[in-house]
Amino acid sequence: MQFTRQIPVLGTWDVVVAGGGPSGVCAAVASARRGAKTLLVERYGVLGGNLTVGVVAPLLGHTAPGTMADEVRELLGGARYFDHETAKGKLAAWVSEAGAEIMLQAPVVDAVREEARLTGVVIGGKKGLACLRSKVFIDATADADLAAFAGVPFVQGRSCDGEVQPASLMFVVSGVKEDAITCESEEHHVPTPRGDYLDVCQKASEEGELPVNVTIVRLYHGPNPDERVVNATQLCGVDGTDPLAVGRAEVDLRRQIDKVVAFLHKYAPGCENCRLKITPGTLGVRESRRPQTKVILQRDDLLTGRRFPDAVVEEAEFCIDIHNPAGGGQAEGVAARVKPYSIPYGALLPQGATNLLLTGRAIGGTHDAHASFRVMNIAMALGQAAGIAGSLAVEKRIQPPDLDPQAIRAVLRAQGVKLTAAE
Ligand SMILES: Cc1cc2nc3c(=O)[nH]c(=O)nc-3n(C[C@H](O)[C@H](O)[C@H](O)COP(=O)(O)OP(=O)(O)OC[C@H]3O[C@@H](n4cnc5c(N)ncnc54)[C@H](O)[C@@H]3O)c2cc1C
């Protein structure tokens, strides 16, 4: 095979962050604020990932106070609920003011390696393929695209059958009454004239009034009182890294949205006259590649609230929220509670690539552990840690695996993060 032209090199940076979702923007800001020449490269035309284009809300999960998750929440208005539209501009300005360069509509499509070191990433764009060079790279693509291109081994899906969590399209409806119901989970019982809302959902599902496998229509507050964010549609068996599968899911899930809105009109008190307001510009992928890392976070680490001495995120907390890969509702009936746990630096270090860091949904964990740490507040705290690690490695002229995690912790502390674990 012969290419028609040479691939040009567009520049050299200290730190290149691939993927501008909640985790990637925090990584870029953290790196740039420490003086590293930083580039954030994103496949879409706006920043924010699921937080904007994905129409995902609210901001879920907790970490130790003082992380960038707190800063972003304040930036977006100070609540769990935020406006997806205004978030786009706020995040772009935030990244730019931190001093990071932003490259948009530039999907990362390959990696250039010299033995275990990455020397560049290849992007596709209006000018064709181009190469970006950097000392350190951070994979914030959620699907671990860059890690996969760099040859990092990965697994996909749960260990019993390889199935991943279902894909969804979340959406926002407006025109709801101010006292319209909310229902955040399978454990949130809400009385309605027809009975417990959860039972109403279940019955509608059994009678075909909801899409296949949709057994709950979760309703969250939106940024405005007459809005609800709806998390209901779901399609099992979608490989989010296969464009044809993503195309098929798009057709199916858009049809599901119409059916769910009809359900709301009929069964959700206060939503009788609701209208579809915002839908995502991309498929909602909960789970895809899970790279092999130095440390892989385990379910038991979360259940026991394990503390790692090299933790870069502490007091992480969110239930093990496994949307059923092979049916409706939760895979385990009820999402398991965790104890506040820590995330070790080793979970950000992929096997076999010395100058690559992972962040957000792409860090190393089992199917179960991933179902907890994937939420946005935890992803943002991870991004901050990855950005600090990248800039520190550049400053010290070493590779990320050679960095003393206590140096990352010291910077986190200096930035106001309340770390507690003994050193
Ligand atoms: C349907 C659904 C509902 C959810 N509900 C909630 C919720 O209510 N609350 C919550 O906190 N979390 C929720 N989550 C989880 C959460 O949204 C994600 O796990 C979180 O956004 C992960 O952050 P991230 O930055 O790692 O990834 P993402 O938000 O996915 O961002 C990744 C970014 O990388 C970019 N990218 C990907 N590949 C490339 C590439 N090759 N080159 C360049 N750029 C690339 C993407 O365009 C995107 O901007 C939900 C997820 C889904 C799918």
So where are the chain's domains?
9-158+287-414, 171-278
Report how far ligand 1's centroid is from the alpha carbon of 87 (Å): 15
Q: How far apart are CA 18 and CA 362, in angstroms?
A: 11
The number of the ligand 1 atom at minimal distance from the alpha carbon of 53 is: 49
In 3D space, the residue among 229, 234, 240 whose CA is nearest the CA of residue 279 turns out to be 229
pLDDT of amino acid 2: 66
Strands (E), 307-394: 311-316, 341-344, 356-358
Residue bearing the CA closest to ligand 1, atom 48: 49
Token pair in block for residue 223: 């940024």
Q: How high is the pLDDT of residue 420?
A: 85
CA of 389 to the centre of ligand 1 (A): 21
The per-residue DSSP string of 109-175 comes to: EEEEEETTEEEEEEE--TT--EEEEEEEEEE-SSS-HHHHHTT--EEES-TTT-PPPPBB--EEEE-
- Cβ of 100: how many Cβ atoms within 10 Å? 26
- Inter-residue contact 358 to 326 (CB < 8 Å): no
Q: Can you read off the two tokens belonging to residue 30? A: 């953290």
Q: If we measure between CA atoms, which residue out of 243, 6, 3, 18 comes closest to residue 121?
A: 18
Closest residue to atom 21 of ligand 1, CA basis: 50
Region of residue 18 (left: phi > 0; alpha: psi -120 to 50; beta: else): beta
**Ligand 1 pocket mutation, candidates 55, 141, 257, 278, criterion most atoms within 8 A of CB:** 141
Determine whether the shortest distance from the Cβ of 376 to ligand 1 is under 6 A.
yes
pTM, entire model = 0.98
Other CB atoms within 10 A of residue 367 CB:
23
Tokens of 242: 């296969």
> Which mean pLDDT values do the consecutive 10-residue runs of the chain (423 residues) have?
81 98 99 98 98 98 98 97 97 98 98 96 96 98 98 96 97 97 94 97 98 97 95 98 98 98 98 98 98 98 97 98 94 94 98 98 98 98 99 98 98 96 53
Cα of 70 from ligand 1 centre, angstroms: 18
C-beta of residue 361 within 8 angstroms of C-beta of residue 142: yes
User: Any bridge partners for residue 228, and if so which?
Assistant: 173, 221
Candidate from 16, 29, 44, 50 with most ligand 1 atoms within 8 A of CB, to mutate? 50
Contact (CB, 8 A) for 20 and 100: no
Strand (E) positions, 265-383?
275-278, 289-291, 311-316, 341-344, 356-358
* Strand ranges inside 235-292, DSSP E: 275-278, 289-291
CA–centroid distance, 38 to ligand 1, in Å, is 21
Pick the atom of ligand 1 nearest to 220's CA. Answer: 8
**What is the pLDDT at residue 248?**
98
Locate 304 and state its tokens: 């026991």
Closest CA to 289 of 113, 151, 122, 138: 151
Q: What is the CA radius of gyration of the chain?
A: 21
Residue 301, CB-side half-sphere exposure with 13 Å CA sphere:
24
Q: What is the CATH number assigned to the segment(s) 9-158+287-414?
A: 3.50.50.60
Q: How far is the CA of 336 from the centre of ligand 1 (A)?
A: 22
pLDDT tens-digit profile of 214-236?
999 999 999 899 999 999 999 99
Are the CB atoms for 232 and 249 separated by under 8 Å? no
Ligand 1 centroid–CA 255 distance in Å is 22
Rounded Cα–Cα distance for residues 319 and 55 (Å): 21
* Atom 15 (ligand 1) nearest CA: 375
Pocket lining: 323 vs ligand 1, CB cutoff 6 Å = no
Phi, psi (rounded to 5 degrees) for 265: -55, -40
**58 upstream amide cis, omega within 30 of 0:** yes
Name the residue with tokens 């895979």.
331
The answer to whether the CB of 202 falls within 8 A of the CB of 208 is no
Q: Which of 321, 316, 318 is nearest to 385 (CA)?
A: 316
Q: For the segment 265-284, what is each residue's pLDDT rounded down to a tens digit? A: 999 999 999 999 999 999 99
How confident is the prediction for the chain on average, in pLDDT?
97
State whether the beta carbon of 59 lies less than 6 angstroms from ligand 1. Answer: yes
pLDDT tens figures, 317-363: 999 999 999 999 999 988 999 999 999 999 999 999 999 999 999 99
